[in-house]
Amino acid sequence: MNIELARAWVRAIGAAVERDRERLGELDAAIGDGDHGANMQRGFAAAVAAVDAMSPESVGAVLTKTGTTLVSKVGGASGPLYGSAFRAAGKRLAAERAETAEVGAALSAALDEVRRLGGAQAGDKTMVDAFAPAVDAFARAADSGGRLDAAARAAADAAAEGLRATEPMQARKGRASYLGERSIGHPDPGAASTALVFRALAEATAE
């Protein structure tokens, strides 16, 4: 990954959450307060503007700026969680280029930060249920010599599968947990946005 690709990734996320804003909002309306689409759209629009305006000296600078912007622009659970995740990834990528395995390690650090901050385990019906399989799939692809685009594709597929798996789960973290058993039968909105984040990485690396 190089600086321009990191920027292209952030732009691709911005485009995806703009396009799917309504769907994310509807998913959140079913088991939360309905603002997840608006939160993601507002946060990533600001992040795209911020990374477009800067002259980054490293891959990590782009991701750190994205994270800082998300934390400052997005209230609610997802802003601090995604924001801290991007900052944790950014901290790991201090050079102008990063090998696929280094990107994998940065994604893993991002996931660790989401887990640490939010305290969610696998199966709690949160973004972790899409994030964790994506990070695993990315690492497996990288370990077997896969290039960045192949690893990103594997991660995106795993995140999408992780999102599907949240539907029958009962939420144990976040707002949806207030619904108890009534959260069952709906996909988790944060898992849906995480699937978009990894699909955007696959799209950006394919170009």
Asked if 21 and 183 count as a contact pair (C-beta separation under 8 A), the reply is no
Task: Give the residue with the Cβ less far from ligand ADP, 76 or 146.
Answer: 76
The CA angle 105-106-111, to the nearest 5 degrees, is 95
Single residue of 10, 120, 169, 197 touching ligand ADP by CB under 6 A? 120
Single residue of 76, 104, 133, 146 touching ligand ADP by CB under 6 A? 76
Task: Give the residue with the Cβ less far from ligand ADP, 7 or 115.
Answer: 115
Asked if 188 and 127 count as a contact pair (C-beta separation under 8 A), the reply is yes
Task: Give the residue with the Cβ less far from ligand ADP, 16 or 81.
Answer: 81
* Chain residue whose CB lies nearest ligand ADP: 190
35 is a contact residue toward ligand ADP (CB under 6 A) = yes
Single residue of 3, 8, 63, 128 touching ligand ADP by CB under 6 A? 128
173 is a contact residue toward ligand ADP (CB under 6 A) = yes
Residues near ligand ADP (CB under 6 A): 28, 32-33, 35-36, 39, 76-78, 81, 114, 118-120, 126-128, 173-175, 188-191
